[in-house]
Structure 1
Amino acid sequence: MTPQLDFIGMIVTDMAASVAFYRRLGLDFPADSDQQEHVEAALPNGLRLALDTEALVKSFHSEWTPPTSRGRLGIAFSCADPTEVDTIYDELVAAGYHGEKKPWDAFWGQRYAIVHDPDGNSVDLYAALPTATP
Structure 2
Amino acid sequence: MTPHFDLIGLIVTDMGRTLEFYRRLGLPVPAGAEHEPHVEITLDSGLRLAWDTVDTIRGFDPGYTPPSGGPRAALAFRCADPAEVDRWYADLTAAGHHGHLPPFDAFWGQRYAVVHDPDGTPVDLFAPLTP
TM range (shorter): 0.5 to 0.7
Can you list the C-alpha shifts for 1:61-112, whole angstroms capped at 9, x where unaligned? 1101000115655xxxxxxxxxxxxxxxxxxxxxxxxxxxxxxxxxxxxxxx
Identity %, equivalent residues: 49
Question: Which structure 2 segments of 5+ residues have no match?
Answer: 74-131
Whether 1:9 aligns to 2:9 is: yes
Amino acid at match of 1:30: P
Paired AA for residue 45 in structure 1 = S
Greater relative contact order (Cα < 8 A, sep 6+):
2
Match of 1:47 in 2: 47
3-state DSSP class of the match of 2:8? Answer: strand
Moved runs in structure 1, 4+ residues, more than 3 A? 70-73
TM-score, L = length of structure 1: 0.51
Instruction: Note the residue ranges of structure 1 that are not aligned, 5 or more in a row.
Output: 74-134
Change (3 A) 1:65 1:17: same
Distance in 1 separating the partners of 2:13 and 2:2: 33
Query: Number of aligned pairs?
Result: 74
Q: Which residue of 2 aligns with 1:119?
A: none
CA contact (8 A) 2:66 2:72 kept: no
Which aligned pairs between 1:80-99 and structure 2 lie closer than 5 A? none
Q: Which is higher, the Rg of structure 1 or of structure 2? A: 1
Change (3 A) 1:6 1:54: same
Give the TM-score normalised by structure 2. Answer: 0.52
Taking the TM superposition and a 5 Å limit, the aligned residue runs for 1:1-134 are 1-69=1-69, 73=73
